[in-house]
Structure formats: C-alpha cells, structure tokens
Amino acid sequence: MLAVFWIRSWVMGALLMLAMPVSAFEVLQPLPDQPIIPADNPQTEAKVRLGWQLFFDPRLSRDISVSCNSCHNLAAGGDDDGGATRQPGRFIQRSAPTLWNAAYMSVQFWDGRAKSLEEAFMDHLLDPQILAMPSPEALMQRLMAIPGYRRQLAEVFPGESASAQMVAKALAAFIRTLKTPNSAFDRYIRGQEDALSPAARRGLDLFNEKGCLACHFGVNFAGPAPGPSFKMGDGFYELFPNYLGTEYDDRYRFTDDVGRVRITRRNDHTFMWRVAPLRNIALTAPYFHNGSVKDLAEAVRIMGKVQFRHDLTEQEVQDLVAFLLSLTGEIPEIRLPRLPETPGVSLAP
Amino acid sequence: MLAVFWIRSWVMGALLMLAMPVSAFEVLQPLPDQPIIPADNPQTEAKVRLGWQLFFDPRLSRDISVSCNSCHNLAAGGDDDGGATRQPGRFIQRSAPTLWNAAYMSVQFWDGRAKSLEEAFMDHLLDPQILAMPSPEALMQRLMAIPGYRRQLAEVFPGESASAQMVAKALAAFIRTLKTPNSAFDRYIRGQEDALSPAARRGLDLFNEKGCLACHFGVNFAGPAPGPSFKMGDGFYELFPNYLGTEYDDRYRFTDDVGRVRITRRNDHTFMWRVAPLRNIALTAPYFHNGSVKDLAEAVRIMGKVQFRHDLTEQEVQDLVAFLLSLTGEIPEIRLPRLPETPGVSLAP
C-alpha cells in the first residue's frame, strides 16, 4: 500500500512539475526538523525567549486588551476557534489561521499578503482591527517603557537602535519554534505502516485520487516547500470556490470575501486564496477563511463539491476525515512567560 | 526597628480589637503556606489540574472569545492592566482584581458579593458582561461535548452527576494554588531585617503611623484573616472615598460607582468597598475599583487625601511606595495547559 501510494505520488509530482516549479520529493513528506531560517534573522535562545514573552503580552495591543495568544491560542490549535471573527468591537472578517507549523508556510495570511513571518507581525501590530498600534514609534515608546524589554532588546540585537522590526523578528523567531512533529501521518510516511488506521489509509488514497493532493501537497499540505525554484515569499494560490451555484453559496457565504484581489487589485485574483495548510486540522475548527463551517466532515463535503463538482459519498467523507485526523502532530508544552514588569505603573492608554 | 514596629503593631492590634473581632496576631504576618480549604471542596491533584485547564479555556465564555486568563492574566499581575474596563463590546465597570493570593480573601469581588471563590466563579460564568453563559445547563452542555472534560469531571467528582458547581469547584481549587510567598516584606517580618531597604522600612512605619494599617492589615493587607471570630464569607468593608470635595473627585470619578449598595440596597453601604489586598500591588496597576489611577505614587497620595484628609509629603509618598513594592512575592511558574480537544468540530455558537 505504501509503495503503491508513493508511485502515485511520484506520478502526481511529475504532473505537478509540468505546471509549476516544484520538485517531486516535496509532494508528501514528514515535517522537516526545522523550517527555513532567514539569513537576516538567525535563531538565538535569547531572541526566542523575548519573542515568547512578547507573544503573550497584551501590551502589544494599543488598548492592552489582547495578546497574540488571544486569537492564536497555543493552549489549543494555535488559532481562535472562530473567535477572531466574533471579537466584539473589532471587525475581523477572517478566522485566525493556526501558528503551529506556520513557519513552514512560504507566505502568511489567508491572502498571502505577508511574505514572511516578520512582515506578518508588522502587519498585525499596526492593523487597526488587530493589535492597532498607531505607529511603529508608538509601539517602541510602549515597549521601551518596560525595563525588561529595553534590556532584552539591547542584548538580543546588540549595537542596533531599538525598532519595531526587532519586535517582529523576535516574534517570528518564537513562531519558528512552534512545530508539531510525529503525526500518525508522519510516522506512516517514514515507513510505520500501522501508524494509519485502514480508514485513514483509504482516506489518503482518496485524497490523491480525488485531486486534493494537486493543491494540498508539500510539508504543510499547502503547496510547494520553499527551495531553489520556489522561494520563501512566493505564494501558492488557488481559486475558492472553484464552482459557484451550489447549495453552499448561501449557506456559508464564502464569496462575501473576494480574497487576494483586495491586496493585488488584479481581477484574476478574485476569490484566490493561499492554499490552506492541513496539519493539525483536527484542532483548527471552524474552517475556511470566514470560519463558517464548524465540522470537518462538512468541510470535506464542501471541498468535493465546490472545487471538483463532485458529490463525495459519506464513506468517502469519513475516510478522508480519518486521514485528516492523522495529521495532528505532537504539540510541545508551552510555559506561560513572566511578563517584564513596570512596578507600580500601568502603561494603559 | 523590628521590635519597635511589632510593639506598634500590637498596640494597633489591641485598638482594632476594640472595634472588631480580630486577634492581634493577624495584624501583620507572612503569607501562610496554605489558604483555608473549604470542607466541601478538598484539594486534589486531579481537581487542580482540571481547574487549571478550565481557567485557560475560552470555551467557558458564551462566544468562545475570552478565558478567565484574559482578564486575570497569570503571565502578569493576575489581573488585567485595566483592560477589563476597556474590553470592547463588554460593559465592565470595574478593574479585575488580582487572583494571586485571592484565596486568602474572605470574600471576593470589589463589593464582596461572593462569599467564596466557588460563588465568584458561578457569578462570572453567568454574568452577561463576563463569561455570559446563558445558564448553568448551557455551560454543562458545552463542556460535556468535550470528551476530555466529560472524563475528567467523572474522575474528579466520582458518583455525582456533572454540574456547573463542579466547574466552579475545580476552578476555585486551582485558584487556591496561586500563592506568592517570600516577598521582601515576608522575609523581613520573619526576622531578616535587611530584606527591606531603609526607604521601605520608613514606609512601613508610615503605613502604621498614618493609619493605613487600620484597614490594610492581615495576611493580604485587606483585613482580618478568617478565623474563629471572622469566618470565610464575612466581609471587611470600608468607605471610599472617605472625604469628598477634593481635587480627585472630578479627576478620577471614584463615586460614579456607588459600591456595595448596588448589592445590598442598604443606604449605609453607599461607597462601601471590600478593603483591597495589597500583596503584589506593584504588579496590579492601574489602581482602585475603576482602574482610573495608573501610578502607585498617585494612588498613595490619593489615599492620604481622600481617606485621611492628609497631604502626604513627596518623601512620605516615596517611602510608602518603597514599602508597597516590598510586597511583591515569588510568582510560581505556570504552564499553559493543553485544552481537551473536540477533533474536527468547533463548539462555537
């Protein structure tokens, strides 16, 4: 079964190579030990530690009401259980994607508008609907008033004057540690055939046969892994929904959000989205960009219909779900940091 | 100095005994190793573990948007940096008090309306402005849909049918572990004279001389510790502000909130408040029930003026602040729990 699957994968890989610059070995593979680390932001223990504190610090938000972890909850799926779209007083149209293994993505956000984690953090820090800092200067004024951060920034980035870019770099360095290896799928692909249940193995075959793999391949099931011919910052986008006119249009209103065209202003980018990663998808309900679908089986059914005009049987849906559940990795234990103090003083606005 | 101080304390204690049922040894003492554990909610490891998970779980809020930790941030002062009063879409008039050492308080909340931590959790779970669960049944329907919680509730409370009371009990058990021992003050009071700086020692003397100690005594500097003559559930309340007509009325609008009268409907409870605990006050800015004062020195100045009609000198303010900063204890490391999963399903409303 494993051998057969690999042959299929290679065929699929060869087909994909005709359409895009991707090497065949990327089609399916276990989670690599490390994501790509950008040359201008090397990982250091002190930097990761600083990013870890910043990630949990509500003082990164203008009104000191939310931290990164509020919407990307590392006690759960690294996402928000659809809560971002329900944050009172905020207008957040899109479900928060998981940060587990986000460092393996070549671009960030549903529309791929951030070419790196560093860019993604700069975006979120200043987005009026998210952390809402009025300017990079306002952010640094806030953080430099905290003696612990002032000291740590000087230690982590010696000889540079403190900047919001450093904050983004430290946060990105922390995110690059958020890896979930050794899913049942990973063990299977490494050769442990009984790591997947029969249902999950049928689901994996279906995932290939039905065409899901054409987009959901690579280390994160989200497209080509960055390499010589596909760089970090290159995005892998697909049309969603591919077919309109189904019962799902009204029910889930996917097309209320036009997708990547909002960023690029190119008509052919209407309803184009970054192909969503599938690792840990069991933990990241609700699904799709608007978080409108609460159930993975329904999400699979929808994908069959709106992407392939195909009615999956309930058996097929169940097998595909069994396969998708096998993508849940080992989630590392996270400690809650002690946030550096400003004794006897609140920095609240 | 220590001896002199103790004599003063005993005198003050004797005076206090005339006015209220409190034994002199309670006037000042180090943080006891354990808070009082109610007979109907004994601590067990499994119960504390369950409460720890629940504390960080946004699924305890109706719209799955906030957890207990959102406003009582254990990465910081166990409070909210004034953020509760700024939560968009919620009308929370009062600053979130710290949960560090909250188990040593005889009543909970600014107005003392909860006679136990268990009662406090039941209140918050159902408060439409806080966790906003529509009913205890709705809460249990949510939690019993999570296999991990269903199993843990049965293990922690064997033979009982699952109820919201169990949830409150588990959360209360977790809060009873949130202790911060060994502050500089605690070490001083145990005999290590150099644990306090000269300024902090002067501040401690002033704290007694100026009358602060008349209310801020006991293990949490918040009144009598529960004992034979003052039970858990008995509240210790004071008038705040004691004097009106100062410059602070308009500036901080303390009297916009009438305090305990809102609960008891007794006129003599207008502007009555639970005496606030002072341990870790360095970490719990902003100050007062409405979180309107960002700076501890200003809070001290205000207390002198509105409680005693006394203008403290800047030297006195500084010394009192130095003493208050000595009340910061050792904060234990908290791990982020793994929240029990509902694979492939969101429970979002």
What DSSP assignment string belongs to A145-209?
TSHHHHHHHHHHSTTS---HHHHHHHHHHHHTT------HHHHHHTT-GGGS-HHHHHHHHHHHH
State how beta strands A272-274 and A237-239 pair: antiparallel
Query: Within this chain, do residues A7 and A71 fall inside the same structural domain, yes or no?
Result: no
Q: Are B139 and B60 in contact (CB under 8 A)?
A: yes
Query: Within this chain, do residues B107 and B207 fall inside the same structural domain, yes or no?
Result: no
Query: Within this chain, do residues B12 and B131 fall inside the same structural domain, yes or no?
Result: no
End-to-end CA distance of chain A: 61
End-to-end CA distance of chain B: 61
Query: Within this chain, do residues A198 and A248 fall inside the same structural domain, yes or no?
Result: yes
Inside any domain, residue A93: yes
Q: How many domains does chain A have?
A: 2
The Cα of B40 is separated from the nearest Cα of chain A by a number of Å equal to 30
Q: What is the CATH number of the domain that holds B132?
A: 1.10.760.10
Instruction: Tell me if chain B has a CB within 8 Å of the CB of A70.
Output: yes
> What ipTM, to 2 d.p.?
0.91
Instruction: Tell me if chain B has a CB within 8 Å of the CB of A203.
Output: no
Mutation target vs A (from B53, B60, B81; most A CBs, 10 A cutoff)? B81
Instruction: Please name the member of A281, A324, A335 whose beta carbon is closest to the beta carbon of B336.
Output: A335
- Using the beta-carbon criterion (under 8 Å), do A325 and B338 form an inter-chain contact? no
Query: Between B212 and A227, where is the model more confident?
Result: B212
Instruction: Tell me if chain B has a CB within 8 Å of the CB of A246.
Output: no
| pLDDT number for residue A26 | 55
| Site of tokens 């029990």 | B340
Nearest-angstrom CA–CA distance, B260 and B97:
16
Inside any domain, residue A330: no
Inside any domain, residue A262: yes
Inside any domain, residue B337: no
Instruction: Tell me if chain A has a CB within 8 Å of the CB of B294.
Output: yes
Task: Please count the CA atoms within 13 angstroms of the CA of B256 that sit on its side-chain side.
Answer: 14
Query: Within this chain, do residues B132 and B23 fall inside the same structural domain, yes or no?
Result: no
Single residue among B175, B203, B230 that ends a domain in this structure: B175
Q: For residue range B271-291, what is the model confidence (pLDDT) as tens digits?
A: 999 999 999 999 999 999 999
Q: For residue range A166-225, what is the model confidence (pLDDT) as tens digits?
A: 999 999 999 999 999 999 999 999 999 999 999 999 999 999 999 999 999 999 999 987
Instruction: Tell me if chain A has a CB within 8 Å of the CB of B322.
Output: no
Query: Within this chain, do residues B189 and B136 fall inside the same structural domain, yes or no?
Result: no
Instruction: Tell me if chain A has a CB within 8 Å of the CB of B58.
Output: yes
Between A and B, how many residue pairs show a Cβ–Cβ distance under 8 A? 151
Query: Within this chain, do residues A236 and A145 fall inside the same structural domain, yes or no?
Result: no
Inside any domain, residue B338: no
Inside any domain, residue A333: no
Query: Within this chain, do residues A98 and A168 fall inside the same structural domain, yes or no?
Result: yes
Query: Between A19 and B101, where is the model more confident?
Result: B101
Query: Within this chain, do residues A188 and A138 fall inside the same structural domain, yes or no?
Result: no
Instruction: Please name the member of A63, A81, A88 whose beta carbon is closest to the beta carbon of B90.
Output: A88
Which of A158-172, B2-16, B131-145 comes out lowest in average pLDDT?
A: B2-16
pTM over 0.90: yes
Query: Within this chain, do residues A229 and A287 fall inside the same structural domain, yes or no?
Result: yes
Nearest Cα neighbor of A182 from A18, A327, A340 is: A327
Inside any domain, residue B330: no
Inside any domain, residue B341: no
Residue B48 has pLDDT above 80, yes or no: yes
Confidence band for A22, pLDDT divided at 50, 70 and 90: very low
Nearest-angstrom CA–CA distance, B240 and B115:
21
Single residue among A144, A175, A206 that ends a domain in this structure: A175
Nearest-angstrom CA–CA distance, B221 and B256:
26
Instruction: Tell me if chain B has a CB within 8 Å of the CB of A90.
Output: yes
Query: Within this chain, do residues A56 and A85 fall inside the same structural domain, yes or no?
Result: yes
Nearest-angstrom CA–CA distance, A136 and A140:
6
SS3 of residue B85 by DSSP: helix
Nearest-angstrom CA–CA distance, A347 and A345:
7
Single residue among A156, A175, A194 that ends a domain in this structure: A175
- Calculated CA dihedral for residues A97, A100, A106, A109, nearest 10 degrees: 20
Query: Within this chain, do residues B202 and B109 fall inside the same structural domain, yes or no?
Result: no
H or E element at residue B6 = helix B2-19
SS3 of residue B107 by DSSP: coil
The Cα of B132 is separated from the nearest Cα of chain A by a number of Å equal to 13
- Its domain, for residue A133, covers 45-175
